[in-house]
Structure 1
Amino acid sequence: MVDPLAEVVSLLQPFAGFSKVVSGAGRWGVRRSEAGRPFYCVVLEGSCRLAVNGQEPLTLVQHDFVLIPAAYDFTMSSLEPATEKDFDIPPVMLRQGEFRTGVQNGAADVRALVGYCVFGSPDAALLVSLLPQIVHVRGERRLATIVQLVGEESRENRPARDVVLARLLEVLMIEALRSSAGTGASAGLLRGLADERLGVAIRRMHESPTRQWTVAELASEAALSRSAFFERFSRAVGTAPMEYLLAWRMALAKNMLRRNEGGVAEVAQRVGYNSASAFSVAFARHVELPPTHYVREQMANGGA
């Protein structure tokens, strides 16, 4: 059986790019606006507040994990409401390499590992659009075990620490995506897969991307009426069924072209287009480059 989440994560090529341990005490606040950079946070001790633009604020507690695939504007702050002045004070690096925000002395109210992931795929923006805007996982025993390992590794100056930490964070991110596939997730692929009926239709699209699907046929796969399916899919996934199918076909096509897995005509057929010209028009509209120009650009940049 095709696993849509595994396919998306595999194409994303995720790995940890940068991380640091940050602690906070008293009243403090940090504001970030770095669109396009996947942000993650693991709460090692204590609690804090996270507010992501367009989402309800979250209170994070020990062992919580948060992933923001596209790093929308967000703030992290103390549970005690922070003032604008508190957000203007930059964190200070302590002797052990940890960064402290708020009160510099004494015990910390919260300690977290924060950082940015890197998606190796040049098509990351397209693939990230299939994921929720924010992933928040709590109470998962498997995830808690990985979080504990991340915390221990972050506190020790062992040989190959950065390599081990990077690998752990890769596993942590994938496990978090898998663990958050529930109806409480924000709109995206995970929430769609969590819906038993929508999940059937999504898997069918991934199993047979070349089939000339219609909304009515997908609704039949999901055992729903056409209108009920369209509304339910759009609300859960955050995009209409045909738009999702188009995005997935384009992701597959870009990957095939980048890896030189066939000419334009062959790739067109493998992603569900009857002619190279129809595929080229759709590709150019979606990617803003004709397939042949895209291939030349990838070759100029060194390929995959």
Structure 2
Amino acid sequence: MIDPLTEVVTLLQPQAKFSKVVSAAGPWRVRRSGSGQLFYCVILDGSCRLEVDGNEQIHLHQGDFVLIPSAYSFTMSSLEPPASEELDMPPVPLANGEFRHGAQDVPPDVQLLVGHCSFGSPDAALLVSLLPQLVHVRGEKRLAILVQLVGEESRAARPARDVILARLLEVLLIEALRSVEGTDAAPGLLRGLADERLAVAIRRIHENMTKPWTVAQLAKEAALSRSAFFERFSRALGVAPMEYLLAWRMALAKNLLRRQEAGISEVAERVGYGSASAFSVAFTRHVGLPPARYAREQSELQRPQRASSSVF
């Protein structure tokens, strides 16, 4: 049985970019406007405050874990933030390898492990849109352990480092996302999976992508009327059922083409199209490029990228 949440994370292809230990003391503030990369943070000791655009501010305490799948703008600060805007200064590297915000010559009030990663999927924007904007988990030691392992592995130069990191990040994302109370989540996959009726239909889509699904057939799987299913699905996931199905077919097709695992005809069959021509028409309309050209361009784009150190 295919688990939709696992499939989302697997298709995202998370790649570790950077992680580091940060401490802070006294009044301090950090504002960051990122490029949309995933940001994660675990509070190792102490407390601080987090504000993410579009969300209420939250106080973070020891053991808390925060995940922002697409971090564009957020602020972290001491519980009593400084009044002066000038205190938003770059961190100072310490002799022990940490980076310090605020006062330098006193014991820290808070210590964090922060990091970010990028996604290898060309459909990352679509997949991330199905996830919550902010995940805050309290009291989950498993997450803290996983983040620590990611940090240790990212700084080491051991054999199979990239393979281990990829698997750790997948487990980290799944563990964090399934810790969210689905019924309270924003519209997206987690909220849909929290609805017992919708979850059945969503899993049927992922288990049998080749079936020529209709709204009526999916409604029957969910034991709902066609109109009730359509409205409930659209409200919970933020997209209509057929739009969700098409998006997933195209996401899978892009992944297969990018990895050059199959020819056009086989890709068409594996994502639910009866012929290569029908698939090519749908793919070109959705993506803006014919499948063969898309595969060539993606192959040319796959180049190693340098890691960034400006995470926090």
> How far apart in 2 are the matches of 1:303 and 1:248?
25
Residues 298/161 of structure 1: CA separation in 2 closer, same or farther (3 Å cut): closer
Q: Which residue of 1 aligns with 2:51?
A: 51
Q: Which residue of 2 aligns with 1:133?
A: 133
> Which of structure 1's runs of 4+ aligned residues deviate more than 6 A?
none
Residues 245/19 of structure 1: CA separation in 2 closer, same or farther (3 Å cut): same
Q: Which residue of 1 aligns with 2:285?
A: 285
Q: What is the one-letter code of the residue matched to 2:102? A: G
> How far apart in 2 are the matches of 1:279 and 1:52?
40
Q: What is the one-letter code of the residue matched to 2:105? A: N
Residues 93/141 of structure 1: CA separation in 2 closer, same or farther (3 Å cut): closer
Whether 1:67 and 2:67 are equivalent positions in the alignment is yes
TM-score where L is the length of structure 2:
0.84
Q: Which residue of 2 aligns with 1:11?
A: 11
Q: After the TM superposition, which residues 1-304 of structure 1 pair with which residues of structure 2 at under 5 Å, given as runs?
A: 1-83=1-83, 85-86=85-86, 88-146=88-146, 153=152, 160=158, 163=161, 166=165, 168-180=168-180, 182-301=182-301
> How far apart in 1 are the matches of 2:256 and 2:161?
30
> How far apart in 1 are the matches of 2:14 and 2:156?
24
Residues 159/217 of structure 1: CA separation in 2 closer, same or farther (3 Å cut): closer
Contact 1:31-1:87 at 8 Å conserved across structures: no
Give deviations 1:88-134, integer Å, cap 9, x for gaps: 32221222121111222322222111111132333333322332222
8-17 vs 170-179, which deviates more? 170-179
Secondary structure of the 2:41 match is: strand
Secondary structure of the 1:17 match is: strand
| Structure 1 unaligned regions, length at least 5 | none
> How far apart in 2 are the matches of 1:303 and 1:159?
21
Contact 1:42-1:66 at 8 Å conserved across structures: yes
Q: What is the one-letter code of the residue matched to 1:69? A: P
Q: What is the one-letter code of the residue matched to 2:45? A: E
Across the two proteins, how many residue pairs are aligned to each other? Answer: 301
> How far apart in 1 are the matches of 2:106 and 2:159?
27
Shift of 1:149: 5.8
249-258 vs 122-131, which deviates more? 122-131
Shift of 1:173: 2.9
| Structure 2 unaligned regions, length at least 5 | 305-312
> How far apart in 2 are the matches of 1:290 and 1:230?
31
> How far apart in 1 are the matches of 2:264 and 2:148?
48
> How far apart in 1 are the matches of 2:276 and 2:82?
57
Contact 1:63-1:147 at 8 Å conserved across structures: no
TM-score where L is the length of structure 1:
0.86
> How far apart in 1 are the matches of 2:8 and 2:251?
9
Residues 63/235 of structure 1: CA separation in 2 closer, same or farther (3 Å cut): farther
Q: What is the one-letter code of the residue matched to 2:89? A: I
Structure with more relative contact order (C-alpha pairs < 8 Å, separation 6 or more): 2
State the Cα RMSD in Å: 3.0
> How far apart in 2 are the matches of 1:15 and 1:172?
12
Shift of 1:87: 5.7
Secondary structure of the 1:81 match is: coil
Give deviations 1:258-291, integer Å, cap 9, x for gaps: 2334332332232122343432233223323221
> How far apart in 1 are the matches of 2:269 and 2:159?
46
Shift of 1:202: 0.7
Identity of aligned residues (%): 69
Contact 1:135-1:185 at 8 Å conserved across structures: no
